[in-house]
Structure 1
Amino acid sequence: MSQQRIETIQKWLKDQNAEFAFIQSKANLFYLTGFRCEPHERLISLFVFQDKEPFLVCPNMEKPLISQAGWAYPIIGYSDHENPWELINKYLSTYSFEQNIAAIEKEALSVARHEQLQNLFPTFTFVNCEQGIMEMRLIKNEDEIAILREAAKLADFGVEVGINAVKKGRTEMEILALIEYELKKKGIAEMSFGTLVLSGENTANPHGHPNTKQIKEGDFVLFDLGVVVEGYCSDITRTIILGQPTEQQEQIYSTVLKAQEETLHICREGTILGDLDRKARSIISNAGYGEYFPHRIGHGLGSEVHELPSLNETNNDRLQVGMTFTIEPGIYLPGVGGVRIEDDVLITKQGHECLTKFPKELQIIHS
């Protein structure tokens, strides 16, 4: 897998007349090498050339894990007392370049590391390779889809644990801890993002912060979580209510559910991505809640929990078989609460498949 992806990058470099690509973001490194870790302040980077062997730069402590991940090319290891840039410079001293162009991840690369590269290659100009790599990552193969299905299944499980734990007087953080504890028992070492368990007025914040607030009768309770399985992420949101809902709460929920279901109905090859956002937005706006739907309908999903495509109303790209993304309309009413329903979606030749399958009908919990 790494070999094929490296060759694709090499072809892209030739098309761009770029001598090499310098890759150091966590997700892109994983995609191209099979190795996933959190390097903290230490440099882990990949150099890919048009027609030379690629090599990795990493702390010596990571070398065994990189080899275990299947990386078969050279590795430059360094200890904490060594300067990796000096080792890179020494390794490259015999290389000659004709085009003074290199590719970097402009969104992910720090100013400090860009300056180090510029010191090594003072005559070079730098182009952005992120779009090219993201387009490679856009369409998932069968192996990736199988992993994403497993990640979605475990996200379903996490929501089930959370809902079963809801009762009057229990805190958001208590339920959150139980969800992650049960997932860790199943071998999940990493969540896709910080798990959200929000209740009452806290659900009116799309990215609210769980706290020690006790859940009370009449509260919406919103769960937003995902897990990382073999380097791939899932992302699900479900909203329930503790006790008898008000007429307004029922209306908000039914509007979000309708927006999600009708948007899913048009998820098929060839659909313009912006149409997905417009479909959900029109339903929510027609119900009188347009100003309370402040975010796009969804985002791409893969080795990052947010990647291409961006499902906003200005995106005129079309859905392709093998794309994976979320559909997640929401209504967030200050002083009342919010509802979001989110699924992970795969575009297939037949239309689409929801990878997350936990029921979406309003669940009313009686404690």
Structure 2
Amino acid sequence: MKEKWSVLEQHMKTHGVHTLLITDPKHVYYLTGFLSEPHERFLGVILIQGREPFMIVPALDEEAARSASAVTEIYTHTDTDNPYQVLKQALRGSSGILGLEKNYISLARYEAITEALGGKGTVDIGPWLQAMRVRKTDEEVGKIKHAVSLIEEVLKQSLTKVKVGVTENELVAEVEYQIRKLGADGPSFDSMVLTGDKTALPHGTPGTRQVAPGDLLMFDIGVYAAGYASDITRTFAVGDISAELQTVYNTVLAANEQAIRATRPGASFSEIDLAARQVIEDAGYGPYFIHRLGHGLGIDVHEYPSIHAGNHDKLQSGNIFTVEPGIYLPGKGGVRIEDDVLVTENGVAVLTTFPKTLTVVG
């Protein structure tokens, strides 16, 4: 934790920032080890030049914060307190230039903070935190690997319930039962199970559609465990599928594998997107790959980097992101194959291990 604060302190000196106020619960966890969802209540960790970080938490979370947080100076507020006055008193003086997460903080909260603290202006610290988060530590990699292992076991167990006539909603219920049974904190996003021509909807909504012979069946699922996310998609065949859908599957698999081969330090995110996209275009399905190749993965299930043809930033060791090409044929079906990958010093490690060859289920 101290290394992270040192990086932030250096940014503060460079940009003339007197006070950092970090209120995104994910960032509070990242910097202190305390994971909480305060809902509408105020939660923040504050760093002032020349002073150790301190926290302000809802009173009902005080015991949990003192148990989990690496920060020892903790102030609390009750539901009848004005948390911004508690913040003002804890600062013990002028806030100077404030560093805030402008992509997270609401206008109402911004106005309340600036009214209480005054200050001499604000600086967006989102880019500082993004640059820190994009390269995962060994500890973070271990937590993401654990989340990956859990979701793969969830998928394995859920597939045993697949049979002709079962509904998408019933399979989603099984997925989320297994998520809790196997010890994850919860799903990292709304679990998605689609069958038949609904698999042509990249973000379709599960419903009462029943699994039928000749269908494609898509699971896009993930979990949070110890504050870190996993995300996996696999597409299966229910009995015999058409030759066209088999071709689509094989094309998506080839695109997935080509993008992974292109993943290495120094390559650009645009390069790996285009590596997958070229495979799909060469097969004649270019117009049916309608989204980016992937997204960063960590304490958020979707975080920087965004893997698309317009992102020319370079890959660095420690980056973790998804590789998830897809082809979606309206009225027929779609295939997406998604892996979670880690950029290493020499190349890439694929964290997801669930088989990708076309598998018949049900």
Sort the TM-score into its range (normalised by shorter chain): over 0.9
Maintained 8 Å contact 1:289/1:331: yes
Larger displacement relative to structure 2 (116-125 or 127-136):
116-125
- Matching of residue 207 in structure 1 with residue 216 in structure 2: no
Q: Distance in 2 between matches of 1:187 and 1:327?
A: 26
Which of 262, 265, 274 is the equivalent residue of 1:266? Answer: 262
Q: Alpha-carbon deviation of 1:115? A: 0.3
Larger displacement relative to structure 2 (177-186 or 257-266):
177-186
Q: Distance in 2 between matches of 1:118 and 1:37?
A: 24
Which of 85, 93, 96 is the equivalent residue of 1:95? Answer: 93
Instruction: Output the amino acid matched with 2:17.
Output: A
Q: Alpha-carbon deviation of 1:73? A: 2.8
Maintained 8 Å contact 1:13/1:49: no
Percent identical: 39
Q: Alpha-carbon deviation of 1:162? A: 2.6
Question: Aligned residue for 2:51?
Answer: 52
- Matching of residue 74 in structure 1 with residue 82 in structure 2: no
DSSP-derived class of the 1:144 partner: helix
- Matching of residue 12 in structure 1 with residue 8 in structure 2: no
Q: Deviations over 1:181-206 (max 9, x none)?
A: 12211211221111111111221111
DSSP-derived class of the 2:220 partner: strand
Which of 128, 138, 143 is the equivalent residue of 1:142? Answer: 138
Maintained 8 Å contact 1:10/1:51: no
Which of 314, 320, 324 is the equivalent residue of 1:318? Answer: 314
Question: Aligned residue for 2:101?
Answer: 105
- Matching of residue 188 in structure 1 with residue 187 in structure 2: no
DSSP-derived class of the 1:48 partner: strand
Instruction: Output the amino acid matched with 2:93.
Output: Y
Which of 235, 243, 249 is the equivalent residue of 2:245? Answer: 249
Question: Aligned residue for 2:161?
Answer: 165
Instruction: Output the amino acid matched with 1:54.
Output: P
Q: Alpha-carbon deviation of 1:123? A: 4.6
Maintained 8 Å contact 1:296/1:311: yes
Q: Distance in 1 between matches of 2:122 and 2:291?
A: 33
Q: Alpha-carbon deviation of 1:325? A: 0.7
Q: Alpha-carbon deviation of 1:216? A: 1.2
Question: Aligned residue for 1:227?
Answer: 223
Which of 345, 349, 355 is the equivalent residue of 2:351? Answer: 355
Aligned length: 362
Which of 330, 341, 344 is the equivalent residue of 1:345? Answer: 341
Larger displacement relative to structure 2 (281-290 or 121-130):
121-130
Maintained 8 Å contact 1:48/1:54: yes
Which of 148, 151, 158 is the equivalent residue of 1:152? Answer: 148
Normalising by structure 2, report the TM-score: 0.97
Q: Distance in 2 between matches of 1:126 and 1:234?
A: 34
Unaligned 5+ residue runs, structure 1?
none
DSSP-derived class of the 1:252 partner: helix
Instruction: Output the amino acid matched with 2:149.
Output: K
Q: Distance in 2 between matches of 1:53 and 1:86?
A: 20
Q: Distance in 2 between matches of 1:26 and 1:223?
A: 29
Q: Distance in 1 between matches of 2:84 and 2:246?
A: 60
Q: Distance in 2 between matches of 1:162 and 1:340?
A: 18
DSSP-derived class of the 1:9 partner: helix
DSSP-derived class of the 1:339 partner: strand
DSSP-derived class of the 2:45 partner: strand
Q: Distance in 2 between matches of 1:224 and 1:165?
A: 16
Normalising by structure 1, report the TM-score: 0.95
Runs of 4+ in 1 over 6 A off after TM superposition: none
DSSP-derived class of the 1:170 partner: coil
Instruction: Output the amino acid matched with 1:24.
Output: T
- RMSD over aligned Cα, in angstroms? 1.4
Maintained 8 Å contact 1:55/1:75: yes
Instruction: Output the amino acid matched with 2:151.
Output: A
Q: Deviations over 1:66-89 (max 9, x none)?
A: 111133331111111111112112
Q: Distance in 1 between matches of 2:235 and 2:22?
A: 39
- Matching of residue 39 in structure 1 with residue 38 in structure 2: yes
